[in-house]
Amino acid sequence: MLHPENKEPFNVLFLCTGNSCRSIFAEAIMNRVGAGKFKAYSAGSMPKGVVNPHAIALLEKLNYKTDHFRSKPWEEFSRDGNPDAPELHFVFTVCDNAAGEVCPYWPGQPMSAHWGIPDPDAVHGNDAEIALAFAESYRQLNNRISIFVNLPITSLDTMALQKRLDDIGQTRDAPARTDG
């Protein structure tokens, strides 16, 4: 069973290649939905260096503070890149590219799973189509994170918890409603 030391929140790292959209959404959602129980971070294997303006616009529309979000390298959270990195309990990849990459050594030997979400930044079209793609990515991550934060984490053994984490990544999210 997983128990954070001293009843501190579980530390969760969300990874994506560019750390400009999906992993930023996941960090924001987890810190809101899991407040007190989870502390989320995000990073990228090849960070773009800037958060996508469409992601920032959606988060602001949903009443998130956005001034602290930044696109950063995953070395900030690895033992090799930062000896002061927080001990991680969970690491989730939210894009297929990051899932296939060789990750650094994470402090705390965290549990991990792949929760791939389509890249909204890859959508080309008019403003409404792009906004819909970002909203859909946010919605899918919100659904998966909501399932995760409601798991009885401290009462599941490691194998059962790993299965649940993997199952969340396979969740077939219901399509967004379009009938108003």
Convert the pLDDT of each residue in 115-145 to its tens digit: 999 999 999 999 999 999 999 999 999 999 9
Whether 21 is a known active-site residue: answer: no
Of 43, 55, 85, 95, which is the active-site residue?
95
- Write down the pTM of the prediction: 0.89
CA nearest to 66, candidates 25, 126, 12: 25
> Which residue in the list 13, 15, 16, 165 is annotated as catalytic?
16
Question: Residue 48: what residue type?
Answer: K
- Which DSSP symbol is given to 90? E
137 sits in which H/E element: helix 127-149
**What pLDDT, in 10s, does the model give residues 100-120?**
556 676 777 899 999 999 999
CATH class of 10-169: alpha beta
Encoded tokens for 54: 């469409």
Q: Which of 2, 103, 123, 151 is catalytic?
A: 103
Question: Cα separation of 9 and 5, whole Å?
Answer: 9
